[in-house]
Amino acid sequence: MNKPVSIAQSTVFCGIDVSAGSLAAALIEPDQPLAQREFANSSSGHKALIAWLGKRKAMVRVSLEATGIYSLDLALALHAAPRIELAVLNPKLVNRFAQTLVRSQNDASAALVLAEYSQRMPFAAWVAPSGRGLQLRVLARHIYSLVAQQTRELNRLHAVEGSRTAPRVVVQDIRRGLTFQARRIAQMRRAAREMIAADAELEERFRLLTATPGIGAISAIQLLAETVLLPPGLTVREWVAHSGLDPAHHDSGTSVHKRPRISRAGNRHLRRALFMPTLSAVRCDPHMKAYYEALQARHKTKLQALMAVARKLLHAIYGIFKTRTTYDGNKLFPEINIVPELQSASR
């Protein structure tokens, strides 16, 4: 495991711009000219990159942006390499930093921006996620893609059945495909439950999620897969920022005051996984419902109110994981008084 090293020691700073097929690396070394190289984004390319960095006798501090599947294997390889410290950065933070620099927008300059970020900004070491957590996330996202395919085919079936010109053989073929798709989805969901049940920590979190109003077993798999890999030291505000549910204000001077919107600069899979539980929670949980209605009474749109409830639901998930206790609406909404009859009727 990589150990933090004092910046006072001789340190080399590296930025890596990751794309699907290539890695553009820029290296800032004391008393040396800027070094830039390009490697393939593959297992052999990762080994060549690590060998190139290993030629330096000093600790190498590497920064790269979180780009999902394109950066994950590289991050794991760098994390396991000796004399390398790794930071995996939110692209939003890097973009803000880049705006302070005058650079042309190409791969080499993007890598240099990341190298300069390593040199100038506070360092936060990347925490490698667990192998089972990684597998669960891949499986959960695969399930979502299968469900999306199923939805598209259901829409096609509806359109074909409403057409007088569609041959019967086409309708039958789509129905057979949907039957097979449903079996695949059920099989993958069973595999996800078995994977969760085999890990005590995952099983406890799954139990806490399904005990929360609005979250059923299907949504719990998706939410667990997107939250299990979050570093343990994050605050609840950092969870919200990671999800992209943090509000973004658009103000300029005294004349421009646009409605605040969510930033969307985070994990879209987590936002998606929260959407259906939020719709359910504002119907079945009296605290969420009262909060939702109070926001609308303050002239918030339905979508704005729903996104605010989604943030609250994410706060609730953070709290139940941290305290290992089930959801308590009175703690999440201490300012909301619920009529006892309404509260008992919701159970």
- The pLDDT tens digits of the residues spanning 307-346 come to 999 999 999 999 999 999 999 999 999 877 665 444 444 4
Res 8: pLDDT: 39
**One-letter amino acid identity for 29?**
E
Do 194 and 113 have their domain in common?
Answer: no
Strands 59-65 vs 35-40: parallel, antiparallel or unpaired: unpaired
As a whole-number percent, the residues of the chain with pLDDT over 90 amount to 69
46-72 pLDDT tens trace: 999 999 999 988 999 999 998 777 888
**pTM of the predicted structure, to 2 decimals:** 0.78
Average pLDDT over residues 260-280: 88
pLDDT band at 169 (very low <50, low <70, confident <90, very high): very high
Do 115 and 17 have their domain in common?
Answer: yes
Among 69, 97, 120, the domain-final residue is 120
Residue 75's CATH number = 3.30.420.40
For 263, the token pair is: 């930033």
Residue 44 clears pLDDT 80, i.e. is over it? yes
Residue 253 clears pLDDT 80, i.e. is over it? no
Res 230: pLDDT: 85
> For residue 47, is it within any domain?
yes
Res 146: pLDDT: 98
Res 310: pLDDT: 97
80-131 pLDDT tens trace: 999 999 999 878 788 888 887 755 455 558 999 999 999 999 998 988 888 8
Res 259: pLDDT: 66
Res 23: pLDDT: 95
Among 91, 120, 149, the domain-final residue is 120
Do 284 and 322 have their domain in common?
Answer: yes
CA proximity to 330, closest of 322, 320, 338, 339:
338
> For residue 210, is it within any domain?
no
Do 85 and 140 have their domain in common?
Answer: no
Do 157 and 242 have their domain in common?
Answer: no
Do 308 and 327 have their domain in common?
Answer: yes
182-238 pLDDT tens trace: 999 999 999 999 999 999 999 999 999 999 999 999 999 999 999 998 877 889 998
Res 129: pLDDT: 82
Do 244 and 326 have their domain in common?
Answer: yes
Res 262: pLDDT: 78
Do 145 and 70 have their domain in common?
Answer: no
DSSP per position, 8-74: TS-EEEEEEEE-SSEEEEEEE-TTS--EEEEEESSHHHHHHHHHHHHTSSSEEEEEEE--THHHHHH
Are 177 and 155 in contact by the 8 Å Cβ rule? The answer is no
Among 69, 89, 120, the domain-final residue is 120
CA distance linking residue 235 with residue 231, whole number of Å: 10
Do 32 and 89 have their domain in common?
Answer: yes
Res 234: pLDDT: 83
Do 94 and 181 have their domain in common?
Answer: no
Res 150: pLDDT: 98
Residue 278 clears pLDDT 60, i.e. is over it? yes
Do 21 and 111 have their domain in common?
Answer: yes
Residue 6 clears pLDDT 70, i.e. is over it? no
Residue 178 clears pLDDT 70, i.e. is over it? yes
Average pLDDT over residues 130-153: 95
> For residue 54, is it within any domain?
yes
CA proximity to 222, closest of 146, 336, 136:
136
> For residue 19, is it within any domain?
yes
For the chain, the domain total comes to 3
State the number of CA atoms in the 13 A half-sphere of 340 facing the CB.
0
As a whole-number percent, the residues of the chain with pLDDT over 70 amount to 88
CA distance linking residue 326 with residue 285, whole number of Å: 14
CA distance linking residue 93 with residue 87, whole number of Å: 12
Do 144 and 107 have their domain in common?
Answer: no
Measured torsion, CA atoms of residues 148, 189, 223, 144, in degrees rounded to the nearest 10: -10
Res 255: pLDDT: 45
Are 316 and 196 in contact by the 8 Å Cβ rule? The answer is no
DSSP per position, 271-288: HHHHHHHHHHHHHH-HHH
**In which domain, by residue range, is 89 found?**
11-120
